[in-house]
Structure 1
Amino acid sequence: MLPFLMLCYFCAYLDRVNVSFAALTMNRDLGLSASAYGFGAGLFFLGYFAFEVPSNLILARVGARVWIARIMVTWALVSGATAFVTGEVSFYLVRFALGLAEAGFFPGIILYLTLWFPAAERARIVGIFMVAVPLSAAVGAPLSGLILTATDGAYGLAGWQWLYLIEAAPSLVLGLCTLVVLTDRPAEAPWLTPDERGALVARIAADAPAPAPGPVPSLAEALLQPRLLGLAGVYFGLSTGLYAIGLWLPQIVSGFGLDPLATSLVSALPYLLAAAGMVPWTRHSDATGERAWHVALPTVFAGLALAAASRAEGPVFAVLCLSLASLGVFAALPTFWTLPTVLLSGRAAAGGIALVNAVGGLGGFFGPSLMGWIRDATGRFDHALAAVAALLVVTGLAAARIGRGIAPPRRDGTGG
């Protein structure tokens, strides 16, 4: 099940960020400025924000199998349709629609994993699942560069158009496969024996937080917990860093004078380093039971590395610093997602995880837009990188403060 979910997320992230490679030639063909590209690339997250909580609440009601299949099929169709945009307006519309289509996928999977894995093991499991993101970028970078150069002009379509069409196809196929592969709950899994199903259900039930004294809070009250909103703010900062780097990295690298294929190969390096570091860091978090500093330290580290990248004199040092910044952000993300799952359960967990992802995900709009605006205003990337670096440092310090006191259950099922 976990490898299949990783493959689905691999394709989701590829369809989300392949615009960064398409932009190497698409921006010129469509006449998009840096500001227009950054704004349009980030519009994905406004659509994502608009439908995130409703989508995850629907998933909790109808089940992950059907709803994740729906999400994947619709995002594949919209992603493929990006091949036919003709200018700024159509680019903006299709990016917004892609966010609407994909809304609920990631928080839905995080919620789904809480039904299968005990809380004390979730940092490692979420880390393994989220390795799909840097692997998607690392594999997708040279793949996208190859498609751009090898298909340009075929059947009257530009390489960037083929890029969208070809990379949308696996998502469509996997969406249909989801209906066969997934089951909504462990109790329905045919690959487990009855004893295994019963033991797993009992273990997950032991993780459920004890009811608080007094009246049961409403869904709205649960979603407006100050600590949950604080986590949304932390995720906003992490997303700003993640997508400021991810959606602009190929254009930063191409500024070193490389062609699209060479740009894609160099752009894969930060993600290979990130993939290598994510799982050991999350394993350490599970082994120690500590969460807050496992989020805070790599986030601050990422900010310092990005600040160094903004001052880099040569391309080698710049790529090294960008790689270290990517490592820091990706190391923090899986452990971060253990925190909201400890605070909430049931329907509140579905809404709360989606709320954190939606509000925090607005950083995916803010980061690329900020980079594009500063790039157009100054003609340089260094000031934009410095601004994002400062936000990451503040985010890391906030994570240390907010995360204190949110302790996972121990492996024996008792509170931490």
Structure 2
Amino acid sequence: ISSGHIQKELLKSTVQDAGYQLGSESITLSVEGMTCAACVSHIESSLKKLEGVEEAHVNLATETAKIQYIPGLESISSIRLAITNSGYSSSYIEQEELGYGSTNRAQKRIVQQAIVSLLGAGFIMLGMVSSLASQLPFQSEYLSFIIASIVQFWAGRQFYTSAWNATKHRTTNMNTLIAVGTSTAYIYSTFAILGKLFGLSDAFPETYFSTSCAIIGMVLLGRYLESKSRRRATDAIKSLLDLAPKTANIMKGPDVKTVSVDDLVIGDIVIIEPGEKIPADGSVVEGFSEVDESTLTGESVPKAKKMGDPVFTSTINGTGNIKVITESLSDDTVYSKIVSLIEDTQASKAPIQRIADRLATLLVPAILIVAALTFLTWIVLGPDPTYAYATIAAVAVLVIACPCAMGLATPIAIMV
């Protein structure tokens, strides 16, 4: 048991022995840089290691993290620092806000990098055509090297950063696999270029610059599509939030006053005119009308409301004038509970998903081991030149294992 855990438990017991409960606060942070379930698990584990953090739930769909912590034992700055040390960036958002961890600028950058990578792979493949390569005033391999270097260290920089941060925490993720696979193909091809310069073309007969560029381009394109689909899901929740009215007309003695919905209190008498949205849950105390409850129930036929009948936030009044006494406000309304339920559903994980997350942490080391065994097998049993064939076989294992197909096919399936 860590000393931090002992300190927290001791503090809890001391406060409880005094007849009080240890208070906690909740914050919501937007997180940029998450790409898969392994990222979610990585951030959650880093946050839960902090002695003052009681709960941490990371939502990949909305790119946010909800943390419950004990003030005094932990602070917002230390929580954000833990996320930064995990290889991601964060920013504080208000509880009522619903945004994305990634900015529009970041999304545009990913698109640009994906386009450059895929176009670079295409140009390199065209350079392999002998009739086109002969028209160049220099060897096409040199142009391929320049293009691949730009893609590898500009577009692929995020993979190296994420893989390095994971390595510092003695773990791996899918970015590790992509970084190792594309780097191996790039380094092997670089040695092939150098081999030709020094007359050793037989040692490294082929180059794989197009492979590394294509993998980086497809994974980046897949991440953009996946992020776009997540944003579309979040926009659906935002549209629900936008349905709620912002003001209400309440009775103040003989006068009618317009106030913000946030200023309503239980027991206020709200006047609902024809066509207006109901600002809070309550009961009809005067009047008769028909209310459209399709935003909550999906039923398109308006429901008759008379004195004593319940009405709900964001439903639309029909042709009658009614007065409603407020009974539930803010997060206690049926409408808010539906929105919260959707958000909690996105953030929750099924038991099988937790198992998949644990298996995902073993996938990358297993693939690296298989690639190493493949290399050694070809060194021992392969034909001459053994190291060349061994390198090609190891590259093939790493490249095939890179989740480029999953990174592109899965987001497309989600969007369709």
TM-score by length of 2: 0.28
When you count helix as a share of all residues, which structure comes out higher?
1
When you count strand as a share of all residues, which structure comes out higher?
2
TM-score by length of 1: 0.28
